[in-house]
Homo-oligomer: A and B are copies of this chain.
């Protein structure tokens, strides 16, 4: 992990993020002074479960894997965070050690916002605290949906669903190519299956011309059929 403010100065205009769009000029100045910018390379860990964070992070660029470590130290993906999303805020709000770990999936740039700054904003800026509350509730809705799918769906249905979820989140050009470089193992940790199971199903999807894999990126060829398989 390394990074200096000047290096990134240009690309950073925190007020363009919805979360900070309602800050007063003064609050923005403070935010810019107090926030620090960090670069993480692929597979680099941002923090581990159990850490006591000194603030939260805003994702400026890249994609991160938010996961828990479960049985036998096996990773379970909880969500992927991308530009504009925040991570590590539970820890701050609940005043508890973090309950999940975060690792960069591709080179990522984060902005660390220290505890005191967050607290000041939460206290004095209603729009900000309201937005955080909304973010938490949205995340909760997502997680509830995932939990239900993982608990009830078969591996194939579940994987098909995940592909659609990833498309929605990581296909900005709408070219049906998932712009997220996931290993088979990471994909498996997302669906809650073994690596081999995921590989077999992907092979099957490929054979049936539902998807295509080029340079590690998955392209969805037949979304209607994938939706049927996902039972959506």
| Residue positions of A touching B, CB distance < 8 A | 68, 70-71, 74, 76, 78, 89-90, 93-94, 96, 99-100, 122-123, 126, 129-130, 132-134, 136-141, 143-153, 157, 192, 231
Contacts and interface: CB of A to CB of B under 8 A. Distances in A.
Nearest to A126: B123
A152 to B, nearest CB: 4
A112 to B, nearest CB: 19
Nearest to A189: B151
Nearest to A149: B70
A191 to B, nearest CB: 8
A90 B147 contact: no
A136 B145 contact: no
B143 A147 contact: yes
A141 B231 contact: no
A20 to B, nearest CB: 17
B99 A141 contact: yes
B143 A140 contact: yes
A78 B147 CA distance: 8
A90 B134 CA distance: 8
Nearest to A91: B137
Contacts of A144: 68, 78, 99-100, 143
Contacts of A140: 90, 136, 139-140, 143
A151 B90 contact: no
Contacts of A152: 70-71, 74, 76, 192
Contacts of A141: 90, 94, 96, 99
Given A123-B126, A133-B132, A147 B145 contact: no
Contacts of A136: 133, 136-137, 140
Contacts of A147: 76, 78, 143, 146-147, 150
A131 to B, nearest CB: 10
A86 to B, nearest CB: 12
A42 to B, nearest CB: 24
* 10 A-B pairs with least C-beta separation: A151-B192, A136-B136, A70-B152, A76-B148, A90-B137, A70-B148, A71-B152, A68-B148, A147-B147, A93-B137
Given A93-B133, A140-B140, A151-B192, 10 more contacts: A68-B148, A70-B151, A70-B153, A71-B153, A78-B148, A93-B137, A94-B137, A126-B129, A147-B147, A150-B192
